[in-house]
């Protein structure tokens, strides 16, 4: 081999990497990953890191890369892109670009197959086996100069052609000093990598989750902190995002009991994609479950339009909820949040109103739901003209002593009132007598 190629790797400040020494907890996982690269390996190894979105796969991989580099390994990496998941060999091209010059030394047919696969030479009849052998030879040659770490992040988006080749390589690694680390979402590796050893990430334990919150620029305190810890369920991405949501808008936390905090776009996209495949009646039932502040939907909706267990079967099959004698339980608090926030406001409001209608004898819970079903008009926006029959729900003149600090209170009453019920989608709840703000026990 010639001089060391300028090998691109996972940068330490790449997205998903929290930066040097910034990982909270994960001692066991780090020791497994670091053990692959430090001390530098004498033989080849492979590992697949698995876990839900936001659990810290990329962060761990970035830390592994950092340790590999400081132990003297060279790093080749690819972060698979969803947009390239259908482009044959796009991932392999990204991975091997820094060492393609070394393809000159491959046996002629292997070099031809590899270059053709990567679009660097005239196409020839596709030969996956030959391409796989070429990549194995190439990586093996590179590792002759020193141990090598090959990283594939977001392997669930790797195009199938690249995945096949990398799986071929992973299963034939032996005495080369190559470490292959792939990371991907979910709790099962892609079938091609299924025989490789796995490292499954669990949510952070509460003590680590709490430490992670303390590292945020404006960590939530008191009740809001408990809410963030509860909803994030040990997911670092959610912890960071929810802490920011509370810091940016403390009122979001006070509305919590009826409205889960909004998710990051990334989490929303992941969970939302699973929701999209569900039939309408299941989504409607899920929304009612997400809006209910109790798993016991029967109790929550009384004789009202509650979902029956049958309508939740499809969601249960996807692992989004479990239904048992005590009611419907979301598999993770973030799922509840995704269900809630993926529905348009009018549907959420209608579900809140349907629940409020069934809770006439529970003033607190009823009040939460009615408040969540109301639109808050910003003072700077001109409210729409009053609707026939609409009831403006105004705040009390004096805030109860246990209420939020004045800076976080809802704005003063304007000529049209702040809170205005939406037209109902389901039969409306009676609103007479509801004049309390802020409602509910979270104030």
Ligand X SMILES: Nc1ncnc2c1ncn2[C@@H]1O[C@H](COP(=O)(O)OP(=O)(O)OP(=O)(O)O)[C@@H](O)[C@H]1O
- Given the rule CB under 6 A, which residues bind ligand X? 16, 18, 22-26, 51, 53-59, 154, 185, 212, 236-237, 240, 266
Give the nearest distance from C-beta 280 to ligand X in angstroms: 28
Integer-rounded Cα radius of gyration of the chain: 27
Give the nearest distance from C-beta 17 to ligand X in angstroms: 6
- Given Mg ion, ligand X, none, residue 240, with its beta carbon under 5 to 8 Å by kind, binds ligand X
CA distances from 223 to 259, 416, 441 (A): 15, 32, 11
Between 272 and 424, whose beta carbon lies closer to ligand X? 272
Q: Which H helix or E strand runs over 171?
A: helix 160-172
Q: Which of 29, 48, 51, 58 binds Mg ion (CB under 5 A)?
A: 58
- Given ligand X, Mg ion, none, residue 212, with its beta carbon under 5 to 8 Å by kind, binds ligand X
Distance CA 78, CA 80 (A): 6
Part of the chain binding Mg ion (CB under 5 A), chosen from 49-57, 294-302, 331-339, 417-425: 49-57
Between 79 and 110, whose beta carbon lies closer to ligand X? 79
Part of the chain binding Mg ion (CB under 5 A), chosen from 54-62, 115-123, 284-292, 347-355: 54-62
Give the nearest distance from C-beta 241 to ligand X in angstroms: 8
Helix axes 222-232, 236-248, angle to 10 degrees: 150
- Given Mg ion, ligand X, none, residue 24, with its beta carbon under 5 to 8 Å by kind, binds ligand X
Q: Are strands 45-51 and 374-376 parallel, antiparallel or unpaired?
A: unpaired
Give the nearest distance from C-beta 55 to ligand X in angstroms: 4
Give the nearest distance from C-beta 373 to ligand X in angstroms: 32
Q: What share of the chain is helix, strand, coil (3-state, %, to 5)?
A: 45, 10, 45
The DSSP code for 127 is: -
Q: Are 355 and 369 in contact (CB under 8 A)?
A: yes
Between 49 and 114, whose beta carbon lies closer to Mg ion? 49
Give the nearest distance from C-beta 145 to Mg ion in angstroms: 29
- Given ligand X, Mg ion, none, residue 266, with its beta carbon under 5 to 8 Å by kind, binds ligand X
Between 79 and 161, whose beta carbon lies closer to Mg ion? 79
Q: Are 237 and 264 in contact (CB under 8 A)?
A: yes
The DSSP code for 432 is: T
Question: Whose CA is closest to 418, among 406, 428, 409, 405?
Answer: 409
Give the nearest distance from C-beta 30 to ligand X in angstroms: 9
Residue 268 in tokens: 């929303």
How many beta carbons lie within 10 A of that of residue 443, not counting itself? 17
Q: Does 16 bind Mg ion (CB under 5 A)?
A: yes
If DSSP codes are grouped into helix, strand and coil, which group holds residue 95?
helix
Between 59 and 245, whose beta carbon lies closer to ligand X? 59
- Given ligand X, Mg ion, none, residue 190, with its beta carbon under 5 to 8 Å by kind, binds none
Give the nearest distance from C-beta 57 to Mg ion in angstroms: 5
The residue number with the shortest CB distance to ligand X is: 56
DSSP character string of 28-93: HHHHHHHHHHSSPPSS-EEEEEEE-TTSSHHHHHHHHHHHHHHTT-EEEEEE--GGGTTSTTHHHH
Between 41 and 234, whose beta carbon lies closer to ligand X? 234
Between 22 and 194, whose beta carbon lies closer to ligand X? 22
Binding residues vs Mg ion (CB under 5 A) = 16, 57-58
């Amino acid at each position: 081999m010639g001089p060391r190629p300028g090998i691109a790797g996972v940068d330490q400040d790449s997205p998903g990497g929290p930066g040097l020494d910034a990982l909270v907890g994960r001692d066991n996982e780090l020791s497994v990953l670091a053990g692959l690269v430090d001390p530098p390996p004498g033989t080849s190894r492979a590992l697949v890191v698995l876990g839900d979105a936001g659990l810290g796969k990329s962060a761990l991989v970035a830390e592994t890369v950092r340790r590999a580099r400081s132990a003297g390994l060279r790093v080749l990496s690819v972060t698979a892109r969803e947009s390239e998941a259908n482009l044959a060999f796009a991932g392999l091209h990204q991975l091997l670009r820094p060492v393609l010059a070394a393809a000159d030394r491959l046996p002629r047919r292997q070099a031809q197959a590899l270059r053709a696969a990567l679009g660097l030479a005239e196409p020839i009849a596709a030969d996956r086996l030959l391409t796989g052998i070429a990549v194995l030879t190439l990586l093996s040659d590179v590792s002759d100069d020193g141990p090598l770490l090959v990283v594939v992040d977001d392997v669930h988006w790797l195009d199938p052609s690249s995945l096949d080749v990398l799986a071929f390589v992973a299963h034939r690694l032996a005495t080369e000093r190559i470490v292959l680390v792939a990371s991907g979402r979910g709790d099962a590796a892609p079938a091609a990598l299924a025989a490789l050893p796995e490292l499954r990430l669990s949510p952070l334990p509460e003590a680590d989750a709490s430490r992670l919150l303390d590292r945020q620029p404006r960590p939530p305190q008191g009740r809001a902190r408990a809410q963030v810890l509860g909803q994030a369920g040990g997911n670092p991405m959610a912890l960071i995002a929810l802490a920011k949501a509370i810091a940016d808008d403390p009122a979001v936390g006070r509305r919590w009991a009826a409205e889960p905090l909004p998710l990051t776009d990334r989490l929303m996209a992941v969970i939302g994609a699973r929701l999209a495949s569900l039939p309408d009646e299941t989504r409607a039932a899920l929304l009612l479950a997400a809006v209910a502040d109790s798993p016991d939907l029967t109790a929550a909706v009384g004789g009202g339009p509650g979902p029956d267990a049958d309508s939740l079967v499809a969601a249960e099959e996807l692992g989004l909820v479990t239904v048992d004698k005590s009611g419907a339980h979301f598999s993770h608090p973030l799922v509840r949040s995704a269900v809630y926030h993926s529905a348009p406001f009018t549907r959420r409001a209608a579900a809140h109103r349907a629940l409020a209608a069934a809770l006439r004898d529970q003033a607190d819970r009823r009040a939460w739901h009615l408040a969540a079903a109301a639109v808050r008009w910003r003072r700077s926006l001109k409210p729409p003209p009053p609707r026939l029959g609409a009831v403006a729900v105004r705040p009390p003149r004096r805030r109860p002593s246990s209420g939020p600090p004045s800076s976080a209170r809802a704005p003063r009453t304007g000529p049209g009132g702040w809170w205005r019920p939406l037209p109902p989608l389901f039969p409306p709840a009676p609103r007479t007598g509801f004049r309390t703000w802020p409602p509910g026990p979270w104030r």
